Amino acid sequence: MSRLIIFLIIFLVLDFYTLQSFRVIIKNNIITYVYIFFSLVVLGNFFYQILTFDRSNGIPFKFSLALSLLVLFYVPKIVVAVTLLGEDIFRFIVYINENYIKTANTEGVALQNRRKFISQIALGLAAIPFASILYGVIKGKYNYKVLKYTLHFEDLPETFDGYKLTQISDIHSGSFDNINKVEYAVDLINEQQSDVILFTGDMVNNKAEELIPYKEIFGKLKAKDGLYSVLGNHDYGDYVRWESKEDKHKNLETLKSFQKEMGFDLLLNESRYLEKAGERIALVGVENWGAGGFKTAGDLKKAASAIDKNDFKILMSHDPTHWERKVIEDDYHYHLTLSGHTHGMQFGIEIPGWFKWSPVKWRYKYWAGIYEELGQYINVNRGFGYLAFPGRVGIWPEITVIELKKGSNNA
């Protein structure tokens, strides 16, 4: 409850500054009252949804709507508040200088009035995140991007030179609201004509039934060497209240059967070999292993027990924290790890090949794209779907295509 009070105070401060900007520019009491009323409705509805949140139903639409409205209207207010706070600091410095530093001035001066053009600049700047978030909610969540990488390995088996894999992650089928867009994305995946398709967890938000409207669509995924998957933290149903442990277990078993029906070979701390012309690479899949309260069912040793240490290895592990804390230093040397989980926070700024930033970087060291450590690679997929906030701003839904090449990158 104390956290909610702190957040409420922060939101009210944002409203205080934005209201000042409105009143300086718009000399109309009716518009001002409408603004106050609408702000209170958005804020009040959000806190009401939090206080009445029912975990037994996962994340309901009304909560997602309340969150999207809060983000849409209060992120721009941060821009306004920061701009006007900067002006306040300037006004205060001028006031101190005129009244306490300039000794020639004995009469003193009043604090300067807020300048209209600063308020205009503040609202103009705020329009940028407002438009971006609005686009992210309406269009951005289905703005699928195919990201292609070529990775070189000296010890890649010869016959796998040029081998292509497609990775998707974090489908979160319970969040979708446009089945046609999902069909388009599945067609886009198939257009890549990769040798294998690998899904790295979070097929649903919480319940297997979320997948029912999309089973036939994802069942159309095709790859010559098959489809493989692992579980993510949301797939276990840990974030809802079940009537019994049996119901929770049944939900997970149903999800497993659905994945099998769609053609996925679900790896539960297991391995498979992908074979080609007498050579092979090992595909290893662990259950979710996460830190900071996330499920740690992954068992790397068990998953790799049936493969050889000298095999070329691809590891599927939902949470990139696993790679950071367990995989990199493992003596089996996992050439390529595929993860997801972070979604890139569904919010950030990215110029492909040049710059990427998201607040999620403060939580995860490896949060989007390709990273290399100790001669091993990880790709952190930005996610296929979305969760809680029904949109994506700057960090778009991702389909990853990775081509494996034998030899040095300098060759």
pLDDT at 409: 75
Tell me which residue has tokens 């701390």.
Answer: 269
Assess contact for 385 and 376: CB atoms under 8 A: no
- The mean predicted confidence, pLDDT, of the chain is 92
65-71 own/partner pairs: CB under 8 Å, 24+ apart? 65/390, 66/42, 67/388, 67/389, 67/390, 68/137, 68/389, 68/390, 68/391, 69/42, 69/45, 70/42, 70/43, 70/46, 71/133, 71/389
Q: Report d(CA 241, CA 124) in Å as an integer.
A: 45
pLDDT at residue 225 above 90?
yes
Q: What is the pLDDT of residue 119?
A: 83
Label residue 169 by pLDDT band (50, 70, 90): very high
The whole-number pLDDT of residue 106 equals 54
Residues forming CATH 3.60.21.10 domain(s) in the chain: 142-406
Provide CB contacts within 8 A for 149, sequence distance 6+.
370, 379, 400, 401, 402, 403
- Could you tell me where the beta strands, DSSP code E, fall in 210-257? 227-229
Q: Residue 109 pLDDT > 70, yes or no?
A: no
4: pLDDT confidence band, cut at 50, 70 and 90? confident
For residue 102, pLDDT over 80 is answered with: no
**pLDDT at residue 116, as a whole number:** 81
Mean pLDDT value across residues 262-281: 97
Q: Is the pLDDT of residue 108 over 80?
A: no
pLDDT of residue 221: 98
Rounded distance between C-alpha atoms, residue 175 and residue 171, angstroms = 9
This prediction's pTM:
0.91
Cα separation of the two ends of the chain: 60
pLDDT score at 8: 83
Average pLDDT over every residue of 355-382: 96
Q: Are 117 and 372 in contact (CB under 8 A)?
A: no
pLDDT of residue 111: 58
CATH architecture of 142-406: 4-Layer Sandwich (3.60)
Neighbour count for residue 44 (Cβ, 10 Å): 11
Q: Contact at 8 Å (CB) between 317 and 289?
A: yes
Cβ atoms of 400 and 147 closer than 8 Å = yes
pLDDT at site 370? 97
Q: What is the pLDDT of residues 7-32, one digit of tens each?
A: 888 888 898 888 888 777 877 788 88
